[in-house]
Amino acid sequence: MAEWFTEQLAIVPGMRAQIEVTKKLASERSQFQKLEVYETTSLGRMLVLDDVIQCTEFDEQSYHEMICQVPLFAHPNPQKVLIIGGGDGGSVRECLKHKSVQEVHLCEIDKRVVDLCLEHIPSMAGKVTDPRVHCHYEDGAAWAKNHPDTYDIIIVDSSDPIGPAEVLFQFPFYESCRNALKSDGILATQAENFLLHAKIIKELLSFGKKLFPISRYYYTQVPTYPGGMIGFTFFSRKHAHDELVDKRFAESGIKAEEFRFWSVDFHKKAFTLPGATMRDFYS
């Protein structure tokens, strides 16, 4: 008999989310957090950390494709990628679609997230075992700080700025990421909903303006997240978000059918926000 999983949205007071579930596939508490995997009635399998929905098979592609493909197609030759967080494996899968990518370093503090997703959600985590992937079960902020001038792309696939992920929304971390990038590197980070979390986003963009020549915000639609969407920061040391993206996609050898959400057109349009929001973020 189906039951309802309820998330009390700590980052959006006064709201909650409910998903109908049929079976709890896994439940444990690691050194860092509570982990659960559910089978849902209509959204496929769902990962929950500390009672917060992280992703479902139904709409995870619109998140993972956009956090990864935008920086990857903005860069002329991404070879070495660092993913901070991202233990569900979806971002790893997206990076490996690019033939130019020679190494992906997954820096996830909680190994049990990777283990559970490999076991229960292989549609996301299945590529983590690829020989190009190197898993490091360490603190992502410390890893970035200790690897200067190393990466073409850094993707911060984090949870909300509560608990262990809070440090990933602070200036010293962004400075470490800037220093960990090569001279033409790109940083993309999970950056919340522009309608619900404008204060957080403005602060992140203020970090970017101090550290990068190019500092922008873009978004995607994810029905199972608060407000039905989520956004990302795009910080670049050299390359604009839409610079030659048409040409790079055409030359990549990746078929359009490999993406359920990302496209060249949406890549460009995702940076267009409502007028008042644009003025608020970029004034």
Please give the order of strands across the beta sheet that includes 103-107: 133-136, 103-107, 80-85, 151-157, 181-190, 229-236, 214-221
Helix extents (H) in the chain: 60-74, 90-95, 111-120, 122-125, 140-145, 171-180, 198-211, 245-252, 264-269, 275-282
> What amino acid positions are annotated as catalytic residues?
157
CA distance 109 to 91: 16
Please return the burial class of 118, using the count of CB atoms within 10 Å of its CB with bins 0-12, 13-18 and 19+.
middle
User: CA-CA distance, 271 to 217, in Å (whole number)?
Assistant: 6
Answer yes or no: are the C-beta atoms of 112 and 28 closer than 8 Å.
yes
